[in-house]
Amino acid sequence: MAEGKTIVVKIKRQASPTEPARWEEFSVRWRPNMNVIACLIDIAENPVTRYGKPTTPVSYEANCLEEVCGACAVVINGRSRQACSALVDHLDQPIRIEPMSSFPIVRDLVVDRSKMFEDAKRLRCWVPIDGTYDIGPGPRIAPERQQVAYALSRCIFCGNCLEVCPKVNEHSDFVGAALINQVRLFNMHPTGAMHAHERLQAVRGIGGIQECDNAQNCVKACPKGIPLTESNNDVNRQALLDAIFGWMFR
């Protein structure tokens, strides 16, 4: 292979939330099967721009390097995706890397995604099992149902689905596809279903499911292939039935 082949990486950097953003270009030595994280590691080792100017190492997040932790979501060549599964050989050069714009910036490529976690709490996205005594095993779940739930449960809270959504921006509080999918997942669970009404009530609240206008970018962007539009419509049906008929049966 071409020895000494290099790749050009352009990174949008910002030292702190209050400082202005700027672009910096780096040149990185090419190696086989390189991913974008490998480029960032190289830059961290030798933080010098393409033009020889020393700079600070680029801050970024990554853990698993196999698309299961969700930490490394960034916008690469204009598309929001996981950096660890973005292979350099499949990307146009120069490779442009930006932080996601739907979340408050922390530094360089690091953003603060706690909005998703706060929304998950507000939407009661868990199965309540803690108590003062052992409540014993829950009901069994039919295999077909397990299969559906398994697909939904693979969400890694990366935030790509929020980043690509035209309804997630500073004018709207939309919680985003991932959170609506969580509502469906936990309402499907026999124990979780005990709180179905509370979740549905919350999902009709501020920034709730009504904000979705079906641009359906989420389902294309999800690295885990979660059927997000399906979840969305399913929760739409549940929330509507709960709103229309719920009060009669309570």
* 69 binds, options ligand FES, another protein, ligand SF4, none, Cβ within 5 to 8 A by partner type: ligand FES
Q: Is 72 in the site for ligand FES (CB under 6 A)?
A: yes
Q: Is 67 in the site for ligand FES (CB under 6 A)?
A: yes
Which residue stretch of 10-18, 123-131, 149-157, 204-212 sits at the interface with ligand SF4 (rule: CB under 6 A)?
A: 149-157
Shortest spacing between CB 24 and ligand SF4, in angstroms: 27
* 172 binds, options ligand SF4, ligand FES, another protein, none, Cβ within 5 to 8 A by partner type: another protein
With CB under 6 A as the contact rule, the residue among 6, 46, 63, 214 that binds ligand FES is 63
Residue with the two structure tokens 């050009």: 8
Q: Is 161 in the site for ligand SF4 (CB under 6 A)?
A: yes
Site for ligand SF4 (CB under 6 A): how many residues? 16
* 155 binds, options ligand SF4, another protein, ligand FES, none, Cβ within 5 to 8 A by partner type: ligand SF4
Which residue stretch of 15-23, 57-65, 175-183, 214-222 sits at the interface with ligand FES (rule: CB under 6 A)?
A: 57-65
CA angle 14, 19, 24 (to 5 degrees): 35
* 120 binds, options another protein, ligand SF4, ligand FES, none, Cβ within 5 to 8 A by partner type: none
With CB under 6 A as the contact rule, the residue among 82, 102, 187, 232 that binds ligand FES is 82
Instruction: Check if the beta carbon of residue 95 is closer than 8 Å to that of residue 7.
Output: yes
Binding site for ligand SF4 (CB under 6 A): 155-161, 177-178, 181, 221-224, 226, 228
